[in-house]
Amino acid sequence: MAERRLLILGGTAEARTLARAAAALPGLAVTVSLAGRTRAPAPQSGTVHTGGFGGAQGLAAFLADAKIDLVVDATHPFAARISRHAAEACSKTHVPLLMLARPPWRKRPGDAWHEVADVPAAASRLAKLAAEGRGHRAFVTVGRQELGAFASLRGVELVVRLVERPETPIPLSGAKILTGRGPFSLDAERALLAGYGIDVIVSKNSGGDATYAKIAAAREMGLPVILVERPALPDVERAADVEATLAWIEARLG
């Protein structure tokens, strides 16, 4: 039987795990695409495509040119634009699409969450907590792109964790920058929060295990967490984990 071609839209730990497992399936050629934001991305299995496609139209053209048979959107749940493009391009080219969508974290007893709609709303809530004397040093893990939302904050120190040290300065002059790529352990997150005297956390509701330890540590330590809710994602077929995604792929390989 002719070789089939799978495109995984990546940039997440699940995408890497999926690519490794899918690359081992007989008769399947795997391409993983990365946006190209990280200078030193983690090693990937399969052929790597780096950089955008040029919108939904560009992605549709890529699917046709590369003769892609299946697409898995394994991007981060906050990468909503590429997911919209994938839904549009796959619908246009009739290529089956599955979204590997890890469930969001659910609030547990003891969690002191402040759920907000987006990163600017998280910055406003942090300002409010600081004004009330309930946040003096914040641990911020919302990625690099939207840090500008925190630029005008006063009366609160920021400790920002990024995947890698930025090439250009971030728009927060006084912030302490830490670097690290998950998974993070509970012990390490506890030590980090205590070591830096953190009294409030700002995070996206990313879901998954790799970055959950800070949420568990905050619960143990009684710290408030300002949690950015998920953006709306296209209504496409979904799987919650890598195992279910592999089953979907194998079913289509016949």
18 binds ligand NAP, rule: CB under 6 A: no
Burial class (CB in 10 A: 0-12, 13-18, 19+), 27: exposed
State yes or no: cis peptide before 183, omega within 30 of 0: yes
Site for ligand NAP in 78-107 (CB under 6 A): 78-82, 85
188 binds ligand NAP, rule: CB under 6 A: no
Considering beta carbons, is residue 22 or 130 the nearer one to ligand NAP?
22
Give the span between the Cα atoms of 226 and 221, in whole angstroms. Answer: 15
Both tokens assigned to 156: 């609160």
Q: Shortest gap between Cβ of 82 and ligand NAP (angstroms)?
A: 4
37 binds ligand NAP, rule: CB under 6 A: yes
> Which region, judged by CB under 6 A, interacts with ligand NAP, from 29-37, 93-101, 102-110, 124-132?
29-37
> Which region, judged by CB under 6 A, interacts with ligand NAP, from 22-30, 51-59, 180-188, 222-230?
51-59
**62 CB contacts (<8 Å, ≥6 apart)?**
7, 49, 53, 68
44 binds ligand NAP, rule: CB under 6 A: no
Considering beta carbons, is residue 116 or 130 the nearer one to ligand NAP?
116
Give the span between the Cα atoms of 6 and 57, in whole angstroms. Answer: 19
Kindly tell me which residue out of 19, 34, 72, 233 binds ligand NAP, with binding defined by CB under 6 A. Answer: 34
**46 CB contacts (<8 Å, ≥6 apart)?**
8, 19, 22, 23, 29, 30, 31, 32
* Binding residues with ligand NAP: total (CB under 6 A): 24
The strand ranges marked E within 91-242 are 97-100, 112-116, 137-141, 157-162, 176-179, 200-204, 224-228, 238-239
Q: Shortest gap between Cβ of 113 and ligand NAP (angstroms)?
A: 18
Considering beta carbons, is residue 37 or 136 the nearer one to ligand NAP?
37
Q: By CB under 6 A, name the binding residues for ligand NAP.
A: 9-12, 33-35, 37, 52-55, 58-59, 75-76, 78-82, 85, 143, 204
